[in-house]
């Protein structure tokens, strides 16, 4: 079931992003939609207007955030959409760590992070969110998009 966020829900979501990540974003020009109870999808206004006219459709736009308990966790595309507005609760990774992140492997960190969730960043690109437990980050990367193996050099004709 896909349903538009009402004003209050949108306000609460924006307030959470501001409080937790320092993001000031009102999603002007976009429509935010509930996809199930806990996921938020994003699309354009005109796409949503057409979607409403269709009697039957499977899905619309892209998934940008999901609710875990009382928290909101941003997806990879969610962080990429508003990444340049993120002011806190993100961590700069090196290439090796970024690859581990996209494999869904835990990443050990030296200093403790006080928050429950953190956003990964590598070379200016945002990699979505991870769960922090003591000195380890457990990245949220869907199985279907994880880097699953590394192959040796390949030649092509």
Partner 1 sequence: MSYDMFNENFLEYLKELLGNELEIFLENSMKPLKESIRVNTLKISCDSLKNILIEKGWKIENIPWVDYGFWINYSTEDIGQTLEHSLGYYYIQGAMSMLPVEILDPKPGELILDLCAAPGSKTTQISQKMQNKGIIVANDINIKRIKALSSNIQKCFAINVIISMRDGRFFFKFFKNIFDKVLVDAPCSSTGIIRKSWKVAKKWNIKTIERLSKYQTQLLLSGFDCLKEGGILVYSTCSICPEENERCINNLLKLRNNAYLEEIKIKNVKYEKGITKWKNEEYDKDISKCIRIYPHYNDSEGFFIAKIVKKND
Binding residues for partner 1, rule: CB under 8 A, are: 30, 42-44, 46-47, 50-51, 54-63, 75-77, 80-81, 95, 98-99, 102, 122, 125, 127, 141-142, 144-157
Smallest CA-to-CA distance from 95 within 87, 85, 83, 103 is with 103
CB of 132 to partner 1, least distance (A): 22
Residue 43 or 89: the one with the smaller Cβ distance to partner 1 is: 43
* Whole-angstrom distance, CA of residue 54 vs CA of residue 47: 11
Bridge partners, residue 42, by sequence:
32, 62
Residue 70 or 154: the one with the smaller Cβ distance to partner 1 is: 154
Residue 84 or 148: the one with the smaller Cβ distance to partner 1 is: 148
CB atoms within 10 A of CB 109: 16
Give Dmax (Cα) for the chain: 58
CB of 114 to partner 1, least distance (A): 28
């Amino acid at each position: 079931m896909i349903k538009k966020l009402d004003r209050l829900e949108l306000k609460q979501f924006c307030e959470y992003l501001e409080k937790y990540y320092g993001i000031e974003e009102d999603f002007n020009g976009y429509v935010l939609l509930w996809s199930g109870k806990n996921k938020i999808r994003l699309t354009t206004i005109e796409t949503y207007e057409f979607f409403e006219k269709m009697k039957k459709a499977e899905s619309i736009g892209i998934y940008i955030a999901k609710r875990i308990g009382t928290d909101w966790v941003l997806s990879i595309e969610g962080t990429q959409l508003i990444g340049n507005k993120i002011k806190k609760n993100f961590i700069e990774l090196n290439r090796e760590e970024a690859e581990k992140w996209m494999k869904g492997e835990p990443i050990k960190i030296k200093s403790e992070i006080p928050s429950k969730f953190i956003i990964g960043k590598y070379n200016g690109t945002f990699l979505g969110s991870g769960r922090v437990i003591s000195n380890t980050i457990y990245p949220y990367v869907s199985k279907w998009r994880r880097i699953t193996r590394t192959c040796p050099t390949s030649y092509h004709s």
